Chains A and B, each alone.
Chain A
Amino acid sequence: MVDRRDLAACEDVVMFVNAAVTATGQREFRDDASAQRLSVEFLHEYILGNYRELYAASLALDINDFNAALIVRNLLVSSRDLTPEVRRREGELIARRLELMAPQRVWRLFRELAGRGVNNRRTRAIMRDWTAQRRDPVFDAVKYRTGVKATMRHAHLEVPAETGTFLFSSPRKVSAFGTPLFETWRQAHYAQRALYDLPYSVAEGLASMHGIKRATFLEKIAPQLTRLERLRLQDAAERAGVAAVRADLTAMPLTRLASYVLSLSQTERASRHDELRHAMTVSARRVAGPAAGTWGRVVAVLDDSFSSFGSTAKRQRPLAVALACRFLLKALAEEFTGLWTSGTHDPLLVRPSGPTPLGERLIDALELAPDRLIVVSDGWDNSPPGLAAEVLRVWRERLDPTGATAVVHLNPVYDAEGFDVKRLSASVPTVGVRDAEDVPALVELARFAEGRAGFAELRRYLADRQDRFRSRKAAA
């Protein structure tokens, strides 16, 4: 028998993981940014106060960078009463997570720690170790100058003499640098030619200072672009008529690619249909990896109602996740059917509009008697309200009491008021999803959300994930 307190703890942790996967502190369809931010910060404090060990352990899960940074910050702020053993484990988790995070996010985290005056020995050690393992400190100093500068100053890190000059004095006061990249950066303040050897984000500001035309700039900076910068600039380049920025779409991450597809107009999607479908399929297969084709018969109910527009801050994000899931699940399944709430058949032409008749689609899906039924929706079932929950309840009670079909609800939107993602029904596990890439791991986590597995099992699961998380480091 599962203990009551255990069950509460289990629910709390699953709730927190859902939040940490989906919440980004940005505006959503139904909440504004401040409500989101307030809600997330409170949740973090609550979990940190009650389950510090599990709070740290969630760094090993597929949570998003925004929440990872928040967790690291909160852990580093208070570490006074910890035993050395706990401290060491936390430190290991933090270090490992920072390695996985995008560098600009880590530098921003360091800046925030500096701003808050968090300067304990552990924080300084973590800053030192992370900085030391960076492959190209010179490049970092140029690209993330303010972050590097704040960190060096805050943690009293030792820097090579020239990096110190670069960071702490004005380029106008230095006549020449010995390090080539620093020298390029200095020259770029005067000569346009030098600019194109700098990272894109640095060059962009200098280009506008020199008054360089956008088309010319994009043409020449193209070799310096990172993969995601390239994807982001596709439209801008097309408008400016620059061919050099063309990206290889098949190499892009699945959910980003889905966002890109949705950013195109309907006519363009129709005219590039085959190319886009191929790119999505290849990208999805790469994510599925060896698991491809192992999930049996899968039916997905995908939400393309108006609320899947998200907000202007996260344009069409929920829809992009649904679209990416569609392709990923197709790759994972032996036999796949995708049902959009609007009734559309062509996934590449979906657009967010209309109400959400989830209940009706669920019956359509259940009629196909799949092995797995996956619902991707923000959980606001409004046509009629609550029909989906009733359908799932009655179906579980009367038609499938043994659980022959596994149902999982994936929700890409954090609901600030409920401190969790919105659930469809008590009888179906709901997990938060940020990138379609995490779906296999999330479906694994779903059994804890159902309340069938106990707290001890959850602890074991988290411990296992931590081990895997740490050993990946050794393998890497």
Chain B
Amino acid sequence: MSGGFAATGLVARPAQVWGAVRLVPLVREEPLVGLRLDRRVHEVGDPSIVDVGDGTYYRSFIPHAFVASWDPDGDRTAAFGTQLQERPVTPRTARMKMPARRALRRMARGGVGNRLRFLPMHLAMEGYLALHFGGPSIVWEEWTDRAVREGLSPRMEEAYCGYAVRGLADALKVFEIHRGQCGVALYVADTLASVFVVPHPSDYRALHATLLEDLYGEVLFHYANYVEAVPDFVVGIDADRVSSLADLRRAAAGQAGAWERFHHLMLSGLTAEGAYTSESVYRLGPFELSRFLPSFRLDEENHIGERIVHEDGRLAYCKTFRLSAAQIRRGHLLTTLHTHGWALDVAATALRTTPSALARRIRESGFEGLLRQHVVDRLEREGRRR
């Protein structure tokens, strides 16, 4: 299924700029009811979440890699991929076991008390990508048993934590959240870093600070270091044309309008027609959870992400991650392999190269040990034996 990305139901308000970081608040006219952040992610007794009595169902979601103590047994588990659920808990939820408390503390500084805890970020990231690439689906002989059995996982992916992106912490701290704000588009040096959307303003309030603990692509880390500041709107009123307070008010309103038009919501990297494929994961009432993958166009912006869309088209939840150039190259390689049924010779022809050159590229992309070298060599010499 191909899916155009659209921020339906959200209006971009004027951006707030801090150094190289530009934050564009996304505001809903009215909050999306019927889906809320899971109650256990909020503090216990949060007044904004209504406790529904027995027999009544309400729908909630837990963002990917979020640890709320949400296992009925009391074990600490994390959402592996965003979870969409209906209370009482439907059994269809993937979980990751969390390490014991002490180990967790060492790996990632947790939230306060029993409230929010996060997976160590590298784990979250690898898990994220592992959701998308399962490994060979046909047992060609050139792939090792391990590749077939275990797929490409566990993979190592590198990304930068929000703390490492210069200026991001300050930008998030001084950001003044709008009334009705349900999301944010985050730009570093005016390139799109991430889009984050939740259904309800108080969910956003609860998760605003977590943007700092998210991961950002390598590009953004470097951009934040090289770019001192992005241009911000400068108000200029022509004094000669003002002769009364009414004039002044009109001029000010004009400036406010110009300010709103100053920065367009630049989502072209995300919304390009046909550039993304999305895979529907789960449907719950009117909500559909899907993950989307770029087509890995080289030398272009590529994002991966998850979203929940209401059936009337409104975007309920969304989180994206911008891939680095190396990740795009790897993704490109894997997609090509995937479209050709993981057959090395066919894929090599499609890439206008030889099987052994392709095998080298696979090895150099960090997938050492997935290919049997002697089979690859013979494949090149003799062609595939029927």
Contacts and interface: CB of A to CB of B under 8 A. Distances in A.
Size class of the contact patch on chain A: 20 to 34
Contact of A397 (B239, B245, B249): B239
A394 B235 contact: no
Contacts of B14: 383-384
A386 interface: yes
A-B pairs with lowest CB-CB distance, top 3: A384-B259, A306-B176, A355-B176
B242 A390 contact: no
B180 to A, nearest CB: 10
Contacts of A399: 242-245, 248
Q: How large is the interface on B (under 10, 10 to 19, 20 to 34, 35 or more residues)?
A: 20 to 34
B177 A391 contact: no
B112 interface: no
A398 B239 contact: yes
Interface stretch (A193-201, A216-224, A358-366, A446-454): A358-366
Contacts of A363: 245, 248-249, 252
B216 to A, nearest CB: 22
B237 interface: yes
Interface string B227-271: 000001111110100111100110110011001000000000000
Nearest to B249: A363
26 contacts: A30-B174, A355-B16, A355-B178, A359-B255, A360-B256, A363-B248, A380-B174, A382-B16, A382-B176, A383-B176, A384-B14, A384-B233, A384-B255, A384-B259, A385-B233, A385-B234, A386-B234, A386-B235, A387-B252, A390-B236, A390-B237, A390-B252, A390-B255, A393-B237, A393-B239, A399-B242
Contacts of A248: none
A395 to B, nearest CB: 6
B170 interface: yes
Contacts of B256: 359-360, 384, 387
A356 interface: yes
Nearest to A305: B176
Contacts of B248: 363, 366, 391, 394-395, 399
Contacts of A359: 235, 252, 255-256
A363 B251 CA distance: 11
A387 B235 contact: yes
A360 B255 CA distance: 11
A307 interface: yes
Contacts of B239: 393-394, 397-398
Contact of B177 (A354, A383, A397): A354
A356 B178 CA distance: 10
Given A390-B237, A394-B248, A307 B174 contact: yes
Of A29, A306, A385, A389, most B-chain CB atoms within 10 Å: A385
A226 B247 CA distance: 55
A398 B241 CA distance: 9
A85 interface: no
A395 B248 CA distance: 8
A363 B243 CA distance: 14
A383 B15 CA distance: 9
B179 interface: yes
A476 to B, nearest CB: 44
A183 B149 CA distance: 81
A412 B198 CA distance: 35
A405 to B, nearest CB: 12
Contacts of B255: 359, 384, 387, 390
B177 A384 contact: no
Interface in B51-77: none
Contact of B243 (A380, A384, A398): A398
A302 to B, nearest CB: 16
A294 interface: no
Nearest to B232: A385
Contacts of B243: 398-399
Contacts of B176: 305-307, 353-356, 382-383
Contacts of A390: 235-237, 252, 255
A99 B104 CA distance: 53
A367 B232 CA distance: 29
A261 to B, nearest CB: 21
B229 to A, nearest CB: 13
A399 B179 CA distance: 34
Interface in A370-421: 380, 382-387, 389-391, 393-395, 397-399
Contacts of A356: 176
A306 B177 CA distance: 8
Contacts of B244: 399
Nearest to B177: A306
Interface in A84-98: none
A363 B252 CA distance: 9
A29 B179 contact: no
Task: Select the residue from A359, A360, A380, A390 with max chain B CB neighbours within 10 A.
Answer: A390
A320 B327 CA distance: 50
Contact of B178 (A354, A384, A394, A397): A354
Nearest to B256: A384
Given A30-B170, A384-B256, A387-B255, A398 B242 contact: yes
Interface string B67-103: 0000000000000000000000000000000000000
Q: In the complex, which of the residues A29, A384, A393 has the most CB atoms of chain B within 10 Å of its own CB atom? A: A384
Contacts of A389: 235
Contacts of A353: 176-177, 179
B220 to A, nearest CB: 23
A384 B245 CA distance: 19
Contacts of B232: 385
A385 B258 CA distance: 12
Nearest to B17: A385
A56 B178 CA distance: 45
Nearest to A400: B245
Given A384-B259, A399-B244, A394 B251 contact: yes
A466 B110 CA distance: 54
Interface in B292-351: none
A307 B248 CA distance: 27
A364 to B, nearest CB: 9
A397 B241 CA distance: 12
A266 to B, nearest CB: 11
Interface in A17-35: 29-30
Interface string A304-325: 0111000000000000000000
A225 to B, nearest CB: 31
A344 to B, nearest CB: 12
Contacts of B234: 385-386
Nearest to A386: B235
